[in-house]
Amino acid sequence: MNAAALLAAKCASCRTEFHHASFGDLAYGEAVLSTSDGRRFARASAGSDFAQRVANLLTGNDRTIWPFLAALADPIDGLAMTHRIVCPACRSTELESWGGTRLGLTEIPDVTFTASERLTPTELANRVAAIRHELPGD
């Protein structure tokens, strides 16, 4: 388990105030992923062996590895993982505010890649290409 801060967020769509886990701006090479309902968190590390396999498949246009690791991660409670901050009330990712107030500490597990780790190099390359295709072009 990994200690993370719980930081206040406010949804721009439904105005619900909620919390999201964070390692803070100083965390290098790690990120908090969330379940698609915004209720469970897990830690992803860019330094793991699997993350290195994924990193080797990224191109100069891929700004970060996190959307790829989120899409390749094992679900938690049957829910897909996301690198975005999700409102647990309405599942919007539009935030009015985020990160200002620290609400406490929590312990979060490491994200796992049990299914994706079994992919052959070709299968993993195909998955990474498919994930890239699905990302919003922002």
Question: What is the 8-class DSSP label of residue 30?
Answer: E
The answer to whether 112 contacts Zn ion (rule: CB under 5 A) is no
Question: What is the 8-class DSSP label of residue 76?
Answer: B
Shortest distance in whole angstroms from residue 28 CB to Zn ion: 30
Report d(CA 16, CA 94) in Å as an integer: 11
The answer to whether 12 contacts Zn ion (rule: CB under 5 A) is no
Do 7 and 23 meet the contact criterion of CB atoms below 8 Å apart?
no
Stretch that binds Zn ion, among 27-35, 49-57, 89-97, 113-121 (CB under 5 A): 89-97
> What part of residues 41-80 is at the interface with Zn ion (CB under 5 A)?
none
At 75, the amino acid letter reads P
Shortest distance in whole angstroms from residue 79 CB to Zn ion: 17
The answer to whether 3 contacts Zn ion (rule: CB under 5 A) is no
Strand-pairing partners, residue 3, are 107
The answer to whether 85 contacts Zn ion (rule: CB under 5 A) is no
Member of 16, 36, 45, 93 binding Zn ion (CB under 5 A): 16
Residue 134: φ, ψ to 5°? -85, -15
Return the C-alpha torsion angle 129, 130, 136, 138, nearest 10.
0
The answer to whether 14 contacts Zn ion (rule: CB under 5 A) is yes
Which is nearer to Zn ion, 38 or 67 (by Cβ)?
A: 38
List the structure tokens of 127.
Answer: 């998955």
Member of 11, 32, 33, 42 binding Zn ion (CB under 5 A): 11
Contact residues for Zn ion, defined by CB under 5 A: 11, 13-14, 16, 87, 89-90, 92
